[in-house]
Amino acid sequence: METAKLKKFAQFSRRSLIEQVSAKLNLVLADGSAARREQPKAIAELEKQLHEHDRELLVERVAYTWFNRICALRFMDVNRYTRIGVVSPAEGQFQPEILAEAKMGHIDEEMVPEKIRQQIFALLAGTVPSRDPQAEAYRLLVVAACNDYHRVMPYLFERIADFTELLMPDDLLSGNSILAYTREAMTPDVCGDVEVIGWLYQFYISEKKDKVFDGLKKNKKITPENIPAATQLFTPHWIVRYLVENSLGRLWMLNRPNSKLIEVMEYYIKPEQPESDFLHITKPEEIKICDPACGSGHILTYAFDLLYAIYEEEGYEPSEIPEKILTHNLYGIEIDERAGELAAFALTMKARARQRSFFRKPIQPNICVLRNIRFDESELENYMDFIGRDLFTAPLQTTLKQFEEADNFGSLIRPEVTDVEVMQKILEAKNVSGELFLSSIHQKVLQTLQQADYLSPKYHVVLANPPYMGGKGMNPRLAAWVKENYPDSKSDLFAMFIERNLDLAQKHGAVGMITMQSWMFLSSFEKLREKLLDNATILSMAHIGARGFDSIDGEVVSTTAFVLGNGYIPDYKGAFVRLVDGKSEAEKERMLKEAIQ
């Protein structure tokens, strides 16, 4: 995919949206503003948010929210997943199709409530005062469309009759608007693959990432809110395919030796010797795949494609397959809320592409954004007294307190109790609706157990391009925590994820990763290597070296991609491919294909 135009657009959009949202914030909060008269509840909520959060972070969050929504709407418009073009004009037209239709008297009654429709018609007819009736009418249409998609994708299209709507950019219709630039960058060609969403995400945060790294040079540590920007790196598609095909694909070929899946796996390396110690699968629904640092979901979306081929081969009805994949097979974990939203969106688009009626029966992808959850001692004491103290073992009580810094530790958290399904069902059956004080505590307990369940060792395949961060960048709390919890891999987050991902996989499961190459030979990772050699098996490795990411210049990132078996297999002969001499992504990919053939 040609990404230069996307990078320029995403970086411009971030600066432009932050500027517009900031200006709008000043406008709506001014004494005597129209917003104060007409939307006092939204203003009250906005002022509350400003009291609780830093102004700059709030502006950035709202700007990001609108960027995500606009890009998502454009992607759906281009692929005709929307009933009518929300941000895109019909062919030969200039204004968004939804506005052009409204001007002709046609507004979707299912999408736009009656009261809003009458308001729009009045604006367009000029019967109510407005400085820019078309712009105001269009804003109402966009908000209604976003609220309509709340039913299908609540994680991305939260209902926005609140301060987020107040801070919506004013200029949406001019030739210099954010929508005009979105249409120019997100052409039908690049929107042919949902991968475009991942690229836009990486480029949107790239300038913030640069700022964080400039701070590192001045010995500024990376705070929890900046970890996502500092550690996100979009994985090239050929590396994703290598990882997925030699983990998920390999598992399937071991269970179905005559499967024709091998014909579509260009990067699959066939084992040289027969194997007996593998996870036995009777049906595709049993397979659980996790990306514990899923970002915008690139690895999961290709896993979706391969799973679809597996279900097809097993004779499932095409109309059933997308729902089954999203319900049973794919799990993603993230600390960045916006990235998690995009991962869920990408999987939903994969499902919609395969099933036209998917939006009629929306299934929420299994994407867990880890959130900080804190309990006061008195809260838990009162809750346990009400529910019954015999249910709360000491390990369970410890688990309830392990997510106080989830935004800092992420998937590296090892819950004391991971088999929480029975406890979840017991607590879900408890009726605390009449106990106002306990109701919020009850929800926090259930959310904690859900997060612990995602982090349980239940997966057949674990796949990741984990965050990279050495000790120099870690904030003091993170640095102290990793020394205590990951003494053998504490030098870098990516090395800790190698350990953690093996924890998440079932015995004989597969772990596929791309990481920095340094763990292979630096003395600081010697104990990690010993642990891996004693407890795991390197099934295959593509040693990429430098210049494996065209989106990164020079020799900055030297990487290796590999698949581990979670268990030691004596005398196993793994497949190793050396790609370090390749001068570019394309050359390294060609070298890998040639080695496999």
pLDDT category of residue 405 using cuts at 50, 70 and 90: very high
0.85 cut: is pTM over it?
yes
Pair of tokens at residue 515 = 């990481």
DSSP secondary structure of 491-521: TBHHHHHHHHHHHHEEEEEEEEEEEEGGGGT
Say yes or no to pLDDT of 129 above 90.
no
What is the three-class DSSP state of 413?
coil
pLDDT category of residue 554 using cuts at 50, 70 and 90: very low
Q: What is the mean pLDDT of residues 58-86?
A: 93
Q: In the prediction, which pLDDT does 277 show?
A: 83
pLDDT category of residue 230 using cuts at 50, 70 and 90: low
Per-domain boundaries in the chain:
4-192, 213-370+456-596, 377-412+419-454
DSSP β-ladder status, 459-464 and 330-334: unpaired
Say yes or no to pLDDT of 87 above 60.
yes
Least confident of 160-169, 259-268, 278-287, 561-570: 160-169
Q: pLDDT by residue (tens digit) across 369-386?
A: 999 999 988 889 999 998
Determine the Cα–Cα distance for residues 595 and 588; give it in Å rounded to an integer.
11
Q: In the prediction, which pLDDT does 49 show?
A: 87
Residue pair 499/466 in contact (Cβ under 8 Å)? The answer is no
Q: pLDDT by residue (tens digit) across 163-175?
A: 788 898 888 999 9
Alpha-helical (H) ranges within 153-271 are: 163-166, 178-185, 195-204, 206-217, 227-231, 237-245, 248-255
Q: What is the mean pLDDT of residues 438-449?
A: 92
Residue pair 55/38 in contact (Cβ under 8 Å)? The answer is no
Q: pLDDT by residue (tens digit) across 485-527?
A: 999 999 999 999 999 999 999 999 999 999 999 999 999 999 9
Say yes or no to pLDDT of 160 above 70.
no
Return the closest-CA partner of residue 285 out of 342, 327, 233.
327
Q: In the prediction, which pLDDT does 434 show?
A: 73
Residue pair 486/496 in contact (Cβ under 8 Å)? The answer is yes
Q: What is the CA radius of gyration of the chain?
A: 25
Say yes or no to pLDDT of 555 above 60.
no
Say yes or no to pLDDT of 415 above 90.
yes
Return the closest-CA partner of residue 410 out of 326, 304, 464, 333.
333
Return the closest-CA partner of residue 437 out of 377, 391, 388, 379.
379
Which CATH number fits the domain 213-370+456-596, given the four candidates 3.40.50.150, 2.30.29.30, 3.40.50.1820, 3.40.50.1360?
A: 3.40.50.150
Beta carbons within 10 angstroms of residue 457's beta carbon: 16
DSSP secondary structure of 34-89: HHHHH-HHHHHHHHHHHHHS-HHHHHHHHHHHHHHHHHHHHHHHHTT-SSS-SSSB
Determine the Cα–Cα distance for residues 310 and 259; give it in Å rounded to an integer.
9
**Average predicted confidence (pLDDT) for the chain:** 91
Q: In the prediction, which pLDDT does 471 show?
A: 87
